[in-house]
Amino acid sequence: METTLRGVGVSHGVAIGEVRHMGTAVLEPPAKQIPAEEAGREQGRARKAVEAVAADLIARGNLAGGEAQAVLEAQAMMAQDPELMADVDRRIAVGSTAERAVYDAFAAYRELLANAGEYLAGRVADLDDVRNRIVARLLGVPMPGVPDSDEPYVLVARDLAPADTALLDPTLVLGFVTEEGGPTSHSAILARALGVPAVVALPGAGELAEGTLIAVDGSTGEIFVNPSDEKKTELRAAAAERKAALAASTGPGATADGHKVPLLANVGGPSDVPAAVEAGAEGVGLFRTEFLFLDDSKNAPSEKKQVEAYRQVLEAFPEGRVVVRVLDAGADKPLDFLTPADEPNPALGVRGLRALLDHPDVLRTQLTALAKAAEGLPVYLEVMAPMVADRADAKAFADACREAGLQAKFGAMVEIPSAALRARSILQEVEFLSLGTNDLAQYTFAADRQVGAVSRLQDPWQPALLDLVALSAEAAKAEGKSCGVCGEAASDPLLACVLTGLGVTSLSMGAASIPYVRATLAKYTLAQCERAAAAARAADGADEAREAARAVLSGE
């Protein structure tokens, strides 16, 4: 009998296949005492297992590249955390086996994270994955991971760790469904980069029986269990129609009446560039530079290393616009040389621009490297600061750019509600705004982007978030300056129309989403987008806003 479930669709497309569940490691090793003379051997075993897991995560990251590489390198740093290892050694010294010491030390750290505010609580899934990999290696049992299968399938899991999502084989994994996660979680972002249909935050996903036939609609978030032949035909026809529309849509982004909306790509490093170019990106709207700094948490990369990496990306977009975000460290991306180690809530502490202003040498080196990388290239370089709170922040960043001799436009990211509310003031110091809707939603609703239980509040369709977008866009228009969106909200084709209607001047997203957004924008006039935006803002909730916009655009 066909039944329908609904989660949050985070990656477009339709997948029809049998359920296969994610394998898990034996989580809790037996508790037994070891003689004191064996402590040294057990400590050595623990260190070797940690080093092997960290090396495996880094190797997976190198293979995956881009977004995945940065996420996996952060996990490797988590595995090698010196405080965690000191706790493991201490537990072994008083009689625990290596595997039990790792299990208990991670459990204690897990509790600290879970109680350290919602932002850090979202790192618990990544921490659990690291623990499971280390314990599995020590116990000699299979690593957690995707199941072995010769036939394509739909992967179902409570949550997908970045290490698993990064290396999914799209020829075997037709799509995936998770019980946890949100629209801006690591797994959702990587799914879009892979082009794999995905639905997250589906209650009871783990109860889907192994081998059950399901159909996953990554656009609507619907899961059809035991779909009828008619439903399968309907979904395949809709998918074919979307594919044809994508193939027919080429060129710069624009509405049906010719209003230009440049479609840019979010990139996490040079490895993301080929996909962006292939998708027809008109430039880069968000060049995340953290990948360079995560290699070594204790030391900043040299100016020379930075110049080489930046130039690779800049050279790929001659005559195009490349917007670089300077280092956004802190919160879930701590760096020993930059961010405090003892903050009670790092998400609300010294993060982003605040950390850079506390370490002006790091900021100066990065800005100088960007200036040198752009020398002689016909590229339109723009540089923006993360986590700008007010005009003073914007001025400090602009002054630093000028002092470094940077010939580029200087901008500010709007990720904090105060920046949206005082956007016109900030624009007295910088030349453009870029809305990071992931963090803006998180800080607006006090809802961590990694926590599935609050995914309702992470939804970028929330009218309060749309109000903040509108405030920013209106301020930019009044000042004769630009206001783009580089958060994951831009990857939703319907929402892209609404953002355009709110006055946003460019949209930046993962490369895989660009064709969908281009094709959808081309269907509607600017006036229709404006009416859809007004209808969405007039709604009381995200679902109502989405339906109101859809009704306007479909002529209902």
Instruction: Tell me which of 401, 483, 486, 529 is the catalytic residue.
Output: 486
Q: Which tokens in the block code for residue 458?
A: 């992470």
Q: Which residues contact 315 (CB under 8 A, 6 or more apart)?
A: 377, 379
Catalytic residue chosen out of the listed positions 12, 21, 186, 359: 186
C-alpha 439/C-alpha 420 separation (Å) is 12
Neighbours of 174 (CB within 10 A): 21
Bridge partners (DSSP) of residue 264 are: 508
Q: How far apart are the C-alpha atoms of 405 and 382, rounded to whole Å?
A: 13
The answer for residues whose C-beta is within 8 angstroms of residue 533's C-beta and 6 or more apart is 466, 470, 498, 499, 500, 501, 502, 549
Torsion angles phi and psi, residue 338, rounded to 5 = -130, -45
CB-facing half-sphere around the CA of 265: CA atoms within 13 A: 30
Given CA atoms 505, 511, 512, 514 in this order, what sign does their dihedral have?
positive
DSSP 514-527: HHHHHHHHTTS-HH
Q: Which residues pair with 199 in a beta bridge?
A: 9, 177
CA atoms of 553 and 540, how far apart (whole Å): 19
Q: Which secondary-structure segment (H or E) carries 444? A: helix 437-445
Is 486 assigned a catalytic role? yes
| CA–CA separation, 365 and 384 (whole Å) | 15
Exposed/middle/buried for residue 139 (C-beta within 10 Å: 0-12, 13-18, 19+) = middle
* Cα R_g (the chain), whole angstroms: 24
Token pair 């600061």: residue: 385
Contact (Cβ atoms closer than 8 angstroms) between residue 63 and residue 167: yes
Under 8 Å CB-to-CB from 494, ≥6 apart: which residues? 520, 546, 549, 550, 553
Tokens of 419: 């920046």
What residue has token string 């509040």? 457
Can you point out the beta strands (E) in 165-282?
Answer: 173-178, 198-200, 213-217, 222-225, 263-267
State both tokens at 155: 């992967």
Angstrom distance (rounded) from CA 159 to CA 453: 12
CA-CA distance, 162 to 61, in Å (whole number)?
A: 9
Between CA 282 and CA 500 the distance in angstroms is 17
**Looking at the annotation, which residues are catalytic?**
186, 486
